[in-house]
């Protein structure tokens, strides 16, 4: 049992940043730690805090053996500070400093911009844990509960990673920002999380899966572009975070896939072929495909908003200053400076959606969003294959990027999922066709009953094909503490 | 940018602001229409503003006084989510000619001063509720309010990012109000003005950048409560009914503008404009009720509005005309009588508003960067408020004795009570006090001359005019002056006049129009800001400004 008051940071925090020698940062982290533990304890319902969860803990950055699995109580999870191994002689991969040695300290002129980017990234990490805090109560299986908690503790670790950077490299301002990360909270009136998608509710498990598929994928894209940073500690931190993020998206993709699978199997069993025969399908205790499409529409569009304005000075600055690159920067075949290039950006002119070339530097957000859209399409294709295989005539579609947007050029117009601009009145009249209604939510909520028996699953979701850490089907992923 | 800029608007035309009237409280919402820019080539995103947005604001502030005297507290706020105001539109500034930037800043400064002073002048208190980003010109809007409330949502901040971001100054009073009005400690001000992201929450209060920091969940209700409370504690007298500021009677021709009381003649070849003010053609209203019944038709209000518009038009649309000549025509006794009604009823709201408005219009004249001359001909009426023009201008010429073939009444100057404290300049002195800074004892002597129609000799003796000339010399002397003036460098003239006009003590206002504006206008000429590789030009491209590191 860890002594939470006198944490021995030297031994208890797995780290590869030589924390025990870094008295200054150690002191700062020590000061920050009790607030973090309080945050965690206030957040997750108590009986889950006491439960033994079969978790993966990052213990090193060796790609072969970076994690080990074991039962652990969440508050005792070892939130390591781990940076991917330094690349020897790393050079800044883009912008006006292209080819110069990567910075090991923060350059004074970029301090504020770097700090702001780290704070925004850091703010998303605890945000999702807050959104998902009550889901344990309705977990459809111990397997899913374990996955939820795995995602949660890793988001907690990501917060640690960002806080470490703030405290190590950004002085007093950094410490204050680190404290504020625990002050803001998802959906709060007084101090909400910084980005909209992290203040939305995650009311049910399908939302959780959609969130981890679509919104965590935004996180992946952001981390990928921060991993290009000329500020080497940020780059190394983000590279390691990406290994964990991959698991979150796996939870999302397989979660939605298993939901679909349960629906398909139930339909086949009952001999229903019409995917729009919603009432009959719902009578089977599964979620009909059109409702899943509505959930997809919602989470996908909320996630698109996270990419910000299509044309952005801040993004241009961050790229040009060598602070934030593009997805797969090194694999892109150009001069990595973009000072004379253009990029096609969608915009709305005179009531029509058009594409126009703008200076590529200013279109960095748009480009990352385009990469995201391609990346997100993969899993949707696999879900559609599942449906086709079951012989049901239905296909999920990613809605048009202009649909249901709050940020960017499309925020000013009403666009349907097919990309037609319409009057705001018309849109509101029809929005129940495209986005989950209260009734849809109530129905899904009615399915959200806990299923805590090892190896058993709620009606609306199929069992996974493979267990975590290759464990057998009836493995007890969470030993529930019964108060 | 050669489009004619019109300073007249009315609520039916507003695109950028909305107002809810709620008894003694007015909620003023900034809601800038992105596509409503005055010129092509930029979008007014994030509640950023251009001159068009400010023309509406100036109109609102003016109508608030005359049309809504029941209002005691005005709450300035944003109708947009997550942003209060991002300040002046950078692309507009980047694309604008130097002269437009300078005129834009001057007008916005005058508007800020006007609503800032509305409490002292009219009992209307502008307060500010800041939610979301409040940066640059946005914070300058807030600074000109007399009470700033900031929500504590751990994101909203106030900021002056001009220096680090754009290599220019917060030139709409920002630097000056931070130190002079809010009295922020200078080292903290130095920090504040060097960081892009600004200051939020409790520190904003601790540093005196705002007056109140309010938890976000309580913010809206606290703002409402604060506005009601301030309205209840206001000593502004209740007024049931305002007057309507009806559209000006105004017609443009190729070489002039004709208003009902003002005639502007443009002499483009001589690079000069003549502004002739016609005195009242009827007796003053019998009392303030009669004045209120006349409303915007009353000569003394009509004249102020028309003169104000004429000055703004000349400043912004006739930049080549370097000399403005003021003339008047009419009966000085009538001018005195119309002013006297107001002076005798200063505690009547409308009388007060009209006097305060004359004060502002005359300041607008002081602040006009053209050579100004008053030509006091026979038949003129330089009396009371119109006499102020004699001391607002750089020089004055007065006809002495009878002129051959001219049967108009002899030129005179008439002083009134108004000349001794009603129309103070930006330096907080009257024009006469400023004029006689070295001989303050002369003011008492001048007070003794009140009400007398002083002919040229007497006016000259009293030091009220620069030169008096008789029939023989007049034409040559005036012509020579004008020709000489037209030959000087306009830059040197502007600089010289601005320095000579404002003798005496510094005030926040003179510091804004003098120190801050001069430095800003210098920076606006320097390559570090406006050169092809300067920060202002490069803003938005992702590339940084390149600076010549030599300190000048
Ligand atoms: Fe994360
Ligand atoms: Fe994640």
* Distances, alpha carbon A102 to alpha carbons A95, A233, A339, A366, in Å: 12, 9, 21, 26
* Count of residues in chain B: 552
Across the interface, do A190 and B216 touch by the CB < 8 Å criterion? yes
Across the interface, do B197 and A321 touch by the CB < 8 Å criterion? no
Question: What proportions of chain A, in percent to the nearest 5, are helix, strand and coil?
Answer: 55, 10, 35
CA separation for the pair A180, A119 (Å, rounded): 9
**Helices (H), strands (E): how many in chain A?**
15, 7
DSSP state of B246: P
The verdict on A191 touching B (C-beta cutoff 8 Å) is: yes
CA separation for the pair A2, A134 (Å, rounded): 25
Ligand 1 geometric centre to CA of A243 (Å): 10
CA separation for the pair B138, B106 (Å, rounded): 16
Across the A/B interface, how many CB contacts are shorter than 8 Å?
Answer: 58
B152 vs A contacts (CB less than 8 Å): 190-191
Domains, chain A: 9-479 (1.10.620.20)
Looking at the partner chain, which of A184, A192, A316 has a beta carbon nearest the beta carbon of B541? A316
Q: Is A242 exposed, middle or buried (0-12, 13-18, 19+ CB in 10 A)?
A: middle
Contacts of B49 (CB under 8 A, 6+ apart): B16, B32, B85, B87, B88, B89, B137
Q: Are strands B371-376 and B395-399 parallel, antiparallel or unpaired?
A: parallel
Q: Phi/psi of residue A22, each to 5°?
A: -100, 75
CA separation for the pair B274, B373 (Å, rounded): 10
Looking at the partner chain, which of B164, B217, B542 has a beta carbon nearest the beta carbon of A313? B542
CA separation for the pair B281, B295 (Å, rounded): 16
A245 touches A111 (CB < 8 A): no
Ligand 1 geometric centre to CA of A122 (Å): 8
Written as six digits, the tokens of A267 are 């339909």
Distance of CA B239 to the CA centre of its chain: 26
- The helix (run of H) or strand (run of E) holding residue A172 is helix A171-183
pLDDT score, position B94: 83
Q: Phi/psi of residue B174, each to 5°?
A: -55, -60
The candidate with the shortest Cα–Cα distance to B83, out of B26, B18, B153, B27, is B153
Closest residue in B to A313 (Cα) is B540
CA separation for the pair A400, A300 (Å, rounded): 10
The candidate with the shortest Cα–Cα distance to B164, out of B547, B552, B548, is B547
Per the DSSP assignment, residues forming a β-bridge with A324 are none
Kindly report the nearest CA distance between residue A330 and chain B, in angstroms: 20
Closest residue in A to B81 (Cα) is A406
The candidate with the shortest Cα–Cα distance to A191, out of B149, B215, B200, B158, is B215
A96 vs B contacts (CB less than 8 Å): 543-544
Across the interface, do B542 and A191 touch by the CB < 8 Å criterion? no
Written as six digits, the tokens of A428 are 């509101």
A364 vs B contacts (CB less than 8 Å): 542
B535 touches B167 (CB < 8 A): yes
Name the closest ligand to CA A251.
Answer: 2
CATH 3.40.50.300 is the classification of domain B251-496: no
Written as six digits, the tokens of B177 are 């109000």
> CB neighbours (10 Å) of residue B521?
17
B516 touches A289 (CB < 8 A): no
Q: Are strands B212-215 and B262-267 parallel, antiparallel or unpaired?
A: unpaired
Across the interface, do A362 and B541 touch by the CB < 8 Å criterion? yes
Closest residue in B to A312 (Cα) is B540
Per the DSSP assignment, residues forming a β-bridge with B48 are B87
The candidate with the shortest Cα–Cα distance to B325, out of B383, B393, B261, is B393
Question: How many Å is the maximal CA-CA distance in chain B?
Answer: 79
Q: Which of the residues A111, A175, A189 would you substitute to probe the B interface, choosing the one with the greatest number of B C-beta atoms within 10 Å?
A: A189
The verdict on A321 touching B (C-beta cutoff 8 Å) is: yes
Kindly report the nearest CA distance between residue A366 and chain B, in angstroms: 14
CATH of B11-232, one of 3.40.120.10, 3.30.470.10, 3.90.226.10, 3.40.50.620: 3.90.226.10
Name the closest ligand to CA A226.
Answer: 1
pLDDT one digit per residue (tens) for chain B, 552 residues: 467 899 999 999 999 999 999 999 999 999 999 999 999 889 999 999 999 999 999 999 999 999 999 999 999 999 998 899 999 999 898 888 888 989 999 999 999 999 999 999 999 999 999 999 999 999 999 999 999 999 998 889 999 999 999 999 999 999 999 999 999 999 999 999 999 989 999 999 999 999 999 999 999 999 999 999 999 999 999 998 999 999 999 999 999 999 999 999 999 999 999 999 999 999 999 999 999 999 999 999 999 999 999 999 999 999 999 999 999 999 999 999 999 999 999 999 999 999 999 999 999 999 999 999 999 999 999 999 999 999 999 999 999 999 999 999 999 999 999 999 999 999 999 999 999 999 999 999 999 999 999 999 999 999 999 999 999 999 999 999 999 998 899 999 999 999 999 999 999 999 999 999 999 999 999 999 999 999 988 888 888 889 999 998
Q: Is residue A99 left, alpha or beta, with left meaning phi > 0 and alpha meaning psi from -120 to 50?
A: left
Across the interface, do B540 and A183 touch by the CB < 8 Å criterion? no
Across the interface, do A190 and B215 touch by the CB < 8 Å criterion? yes
Across the interface, do B153 and A192 touch by the CB < 8 Å criterion? yes
CA contacts within 13 A on the Cβ side of A446: 12
Where do we find the tokens 């679509």? A214
B540 vs A contacts (CB less than 8 Å): 313, 316, 362
Q: Which residues surround ligand 1, an ion (CB under 5 A)?
A: A 125, 155, 158
Contacts of A164 (CB under 8 A, 6+ apart): A17, A25, A29, A81, A237
Kindly report the nearest CA distance between residue A456 and chain B, in angstroms: 44
Interior angle at CA A313, CA A310 and CA A315, nearest 5 = 70
Q: Is B370 exposed, middle or buried (0-12, 13-18, 19+ CB in 10 A)?
A: buried
- The helix (run of H) or strand (run of E) holding residue A188 is none
Contacts of B10 (CB under 8 A, 6+ apart): B59, B63, B245, B247
Written as six digits, the tokens of A400 are 């048009």
- Interface confidence, given as ipTM, is 0.78
Across the interface, do B154 and A183 touch by the CB < 8 Å criterion? yes
Tell me whether domains B11-232 and B251-496 share a fold. yes
Contacts of B153 (CB under 8 A, 6+ apart): A190, A191, A192, B131, B216
E strands, A365-417, in order: 414-415
Mapped onto helix, strand or coil, the DSSP state of residue A352 is strand
A412 vs B contacts (CB less than 8 Å): 34
The verdict on A350 touching B (C-beta cutoff 8 Å) is: no
Handedness of CA A135, A137, A141, A143 (dihedral sign): positive
* Distances, alpha carbon A284 to alpha carbons A264, A274, B118, B232, in Å: 11, 14, 70, 64
DSSP state of B320: T
Ligand 2 geometric centre to CA of A363 (Å): 25
A319 vs B contacts (CB less than 8 Å): 542
CA separation for the pair B330, B262 (Å, rounded): 12
A183 vs B contacts (CB less than 8 Å): 154
B69 touches B105 (CB < 8 A): no
Contacts of A167 (CB under 8 A, 6+ apart): A25, A28, A29, A32, A174, A175, A178
Looking at the partner chain, which of A96, A112, A184 has a beta carbon nearest the beta carbon of B154? A184
Kindly report the nearest CA distance between residue B214 and chain A, in angstroms: 9
Q: Are strands B262-267 and B272-278 parallel, antiparallel or unpaired?
A: antiparallel
B186 touches B224 (CB < 8 A): no
Mapped onto helix, strand or coil, the DSSP state of residue A160 is helix
pLDDT score, position A2: 39
CA separation for the pair A393, A406 (Å, rounded): 33
Across the interface, do A190 and B34 touch by the CB < 8 Å criterion? no
pLDDT score, position A412: 87
Written as six digits, the tokens of A269 are 């069993």
The verdict on A462 touching B (C-beta cutoff 8 Å) is: no
Q: Is B166 exposed, middle or buried (0-12, 13-18, 19+ CB in 10 A)?
A: buried
CA separation for the pair A318, A303 (Å, rounded): 21
The candidate with the shortest Cα–Cα distance to A319, out of A302, A335, A303, is A335
CA separation for the pair B18, B32 (Å, rounded): 10
Q: Are strands A52-58 and A67-73 parallel, antiparallel or unpaired?
A: antiparallel
- pLDDT tens digits, A72-128: 999 888 888 888 888 999 999 999 999 999 999 999 989 999 999 999 999 999 999
B195 touches B159 (CB < 8 A): yes
CA separation for the pair B84, A245 (Å, rounded): 35
Query: Any idea where the domains of chain B sit in the sequence?
Result: 11-232, 251-496
pLDDT one digit per residue (tens) for chain A, 483 residues: 333 333 344 556 777 888 888 888 888 888 898 899 899 988 888 889 999 999 998 777 777 767 789 999 998 888 888 888 889 999 999 999 999 999 999 999 899 999 999 999 999 999 999 999 999 999 999 999 999 999 999 999 999 999 999 999 999 999 999 999 999 999 988 889 998 889 988 999 999 999 999 999 999 999 999 999 999 999 999 999 998 899 999 999 999 999 999 999 999 999 999 999 999 999 999 999 999 999 999 999 999 999 999 999 999 999 999 999 999 999 999 999 999 999 999 999 888 999 999 999 999 999 999 999 999 999 999 999 999 999 999 999 999 999 999 999 999 899 999 999 999 999 999 999 999 999 999 999 999 999 999 999 999 999 999 999 999 999 999 999 875
pLDDT score, position B2: 60
Q: Which of the residues A179, A181, A316 would you substitute to probe the B interface, choosing the one with the greatest number of B C-beta atoms within 10 Å?
A: A316
Name the closest ligand to CA A147.
Answer: 2
Question: How many Å is the maximal CA-CA distance in chain A?
Answer: 67
Looking at the partner chain, which of B152, B217, B541 has a beta carbon nearest the beta carbon of A359? B541
Mapped onto helix, strand or coil, the DSSP state of residue B456 is helix
Ligand 2 geometric centre to CA of A309 (Å): 23
Per the DSSP assignment, residues forming a β-bridge with A57 are A68
Q: Which of the residues B32, B163, B542, B546 would you substitute to probe the A interface, choosing the one with the greatest number of A C-beta atoms within 10 Å?
A: B542
Q: Which residues surround ligand 2, an ion (CB under 5 A)?
A: A 216, 245, 248
Across the interface, do A316 and B155 touch by the CB < 8 Å criterion? no
Across the interface, do B539 and A313 touch by the CB < 8 Å criterion? yes
Interior angle at CA A317, CA A315 and CA A319, nearest 5 = 70
Contacts of A11 (CB under 8 A, 6+ apart): none
- The helix (run of H) or strand (run of E) holding residue A369 is helix A364-389
Across the interface, do B196 and A412 touch by the CB < 8 Å criterion? no
Helix A364-389 and helix A232-270, axial crossing angle in degrees, nearest 10: 30
């Amino acid at each position: 049992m860890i002594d939470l008051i006198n944490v021995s940071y030297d031994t208890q925090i797995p780290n590869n940043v030589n924390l025990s020698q870094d008295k200054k940062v150690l002191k700062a982290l020590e000061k920050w730690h009790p607030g973090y533990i309080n945050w965690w304890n206030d957040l997750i319902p108590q009986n889950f805090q006491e439960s033994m969860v079969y978790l993966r803990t990052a213990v090193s950055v060796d790609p072969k053996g970076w994690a080990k699995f074991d039962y652990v109580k969440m508050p005792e999870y070892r939130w390591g500070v781990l940076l991917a191994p330094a690349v020897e002689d790393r050079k800044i991969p883009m912008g006006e400093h292209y080819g110069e040695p990567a910075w090991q300290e923060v350059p004074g002129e970029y301090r504020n911009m770097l700090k702001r980017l780290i704070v925004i990234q850091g703010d998303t990490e605890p945000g999702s844990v807050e959104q998902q805090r009550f889901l344990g109560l309705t977990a459809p299986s111990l397997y899913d509960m374990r996955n939820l908690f795995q995602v949660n503790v890793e988001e907690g670790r990501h917060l640690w990673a960002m806080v470490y950077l703030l405290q190590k490299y950004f002085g007093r301002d950094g410490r204050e920002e680190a404290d504020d990360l625990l002050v803001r909270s998802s959906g709060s009136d007084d101090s909400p999380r910084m980005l909209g998608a992290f203040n939305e509710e995650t009311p049910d498990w399908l939302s959780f899966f959609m969130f981890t598929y679509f919104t965590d994928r935004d996180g992946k894209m952001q981390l990928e572009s921060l991993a290009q940073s000329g500020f080497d500690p940020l780059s190394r931190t983000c590279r390691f975070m990406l290994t964990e993020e991959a698991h979150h998206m796996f939870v999302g993709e397989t979660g939605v896939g298993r939901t679909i699978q349960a629906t398909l199997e139930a339909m086949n069993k009952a001999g229903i072929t019409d995917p729009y025969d919603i009432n009959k399908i719902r009578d089977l205790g599964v979620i009909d495909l059109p409702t899943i499409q509505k959930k997809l529409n919602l989470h996908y569009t909320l996630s698109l908003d996270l990419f910000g304005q299509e044309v952005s000075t801040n993004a241009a600055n961050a790229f040009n200053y060598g602070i934030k690159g593009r997805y797969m920067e090194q694999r892109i075949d150009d001069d990595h400076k973009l000072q004379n290039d253009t990029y096609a950006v969608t915009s709305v002119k005179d009531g029509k959606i058009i594409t126009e070339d703008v200076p590529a530097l200013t279109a960095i957000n748009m480009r990352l969003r385009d990469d995201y859209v391609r990346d997100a399409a993969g899993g949707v294709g696999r879900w559609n294959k599942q449906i086709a295989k079951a012989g049901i005539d239905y296909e999920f579609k990613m809605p048009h990027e202009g649909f249901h947007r709050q940020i960017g050029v499309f925020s000013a117009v009403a666009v349907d999922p097919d990309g037609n601009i319409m009057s705001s009145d018309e849109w509101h009249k029809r929005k129940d066709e495209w986005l989950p209604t209260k009734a849809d939510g109530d129905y899904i909520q009615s399915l959200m009953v806990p299923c805590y028996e090892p190896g058993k699953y709620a009606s609306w979701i199929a069992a996974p094909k493979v267990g975590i850490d290759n464990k057998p089907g009836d493995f007890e992923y969470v030993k529930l503490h019964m108060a | 940018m050669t489009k004619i800029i019109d300073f007249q608007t009315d609520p039916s035309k507003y695109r950028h602001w909305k107002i809810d009237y709620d008894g003694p409280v007015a909620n003023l919402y900034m809601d800038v229409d992105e596509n409503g820019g005055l010129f092509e080539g930029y979008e007014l995103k994030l509640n950023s503003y251009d001159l068009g947005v400010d023309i509406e604001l100036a109109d609102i502030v003016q109508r608030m006084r005359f049309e809504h005297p029941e209002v005691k507290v005005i709450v300035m706020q944003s109708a947009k989510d997550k942003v209060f105001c991002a300040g002046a539109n950078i692309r507009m500034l980047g694309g604008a000619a130097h002269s437009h930037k300078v005129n834009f800043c001057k007008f916005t400064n005058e508007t800020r001063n006007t609503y800032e002073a509305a409490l002292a002048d009219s009992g209307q208190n502008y307060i500010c509720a800041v939610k979301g980003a409040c940066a640059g010109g946005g914070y300058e809007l807030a600074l000109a309010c007399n009470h700033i409330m900031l929500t504590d949502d751990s994101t909203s901040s106030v900021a002056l990012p001009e220096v680090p971001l754009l290599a220019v100054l917060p030139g709409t009073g920002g630097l000056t109000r931070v130190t002079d009005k809010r009295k922020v400690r200078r080292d903290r001000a130095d920090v504040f003005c060097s960081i892009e992201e600004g200051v939020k929450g409790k520190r904003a209060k601790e540093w005196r950048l705002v007056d109140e920091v309010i938890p976000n969940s309580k913010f809206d209700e606290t703002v409402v409560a604060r506005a009601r409370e301030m309205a209840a504690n206001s000593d502004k007298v209740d007024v049931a009914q305002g007057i309507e500021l009806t559209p000006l009677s105004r017609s443009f021709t190729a070489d002039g503008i004709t208003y009902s009381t003002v005639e502007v003649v443009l002499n483009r070849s001589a690079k000069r404009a003549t502004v002739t003010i016609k005195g009242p053609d009827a007796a003053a209203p019998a009392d303030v009720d009669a004045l209120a019944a006349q409303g915007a038709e009353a000569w003394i209000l009509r004249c102020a509005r028309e003169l104000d518009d004429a000055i703004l038009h000349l400043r912004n649309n006739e930049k080549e005309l370097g000399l403005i000549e003021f003339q008047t025509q009419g009966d000085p006794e009538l001018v005195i009588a119309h002013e006297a009604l107001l002076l005798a009823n200063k505690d009547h709201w409308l009388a007060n508003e009209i006097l305060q408005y004359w004060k502002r219009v005359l300041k607008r004249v002081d602040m006009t960067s053209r050579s100004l001359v008053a030509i006091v001909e026979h038949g003129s009426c330089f009396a009371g408020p119109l006499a102020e023009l004699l001391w607002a201008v750089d020089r004055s010429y007065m006809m002495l004795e009878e002129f051959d073939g001219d049967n108009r009444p002899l030129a005179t100057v008439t002083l009134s009570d108004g000349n001794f404290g009603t129309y103070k300049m930006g330096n907080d002195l009257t024009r006469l006090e400023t004029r006689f800074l070295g001989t303050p004892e002369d003011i008492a002597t001048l007070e003794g001359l009140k009400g007398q129609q002083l002919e040229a000799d007497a006016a000259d003796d009293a030091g009220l005019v620069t030169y008096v000339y008789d029939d023989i010399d007049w034409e040559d002397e005036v012509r020579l002056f004008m020709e000489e003036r037209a030959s000087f460098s306009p830059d040197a003239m502007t600089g010289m006049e601005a320095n000579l006009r404002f003798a005496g003590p510094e005030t926040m206002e003179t510091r804004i129009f003098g120190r801050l504006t001069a430095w800003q206008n210098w920076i606006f000429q320097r390559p570090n800001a406006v050169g092809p590789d300067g920060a202002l030009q490069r803003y938005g491209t992702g590339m940084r400004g390149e600076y010549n590191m030599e300190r000048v």
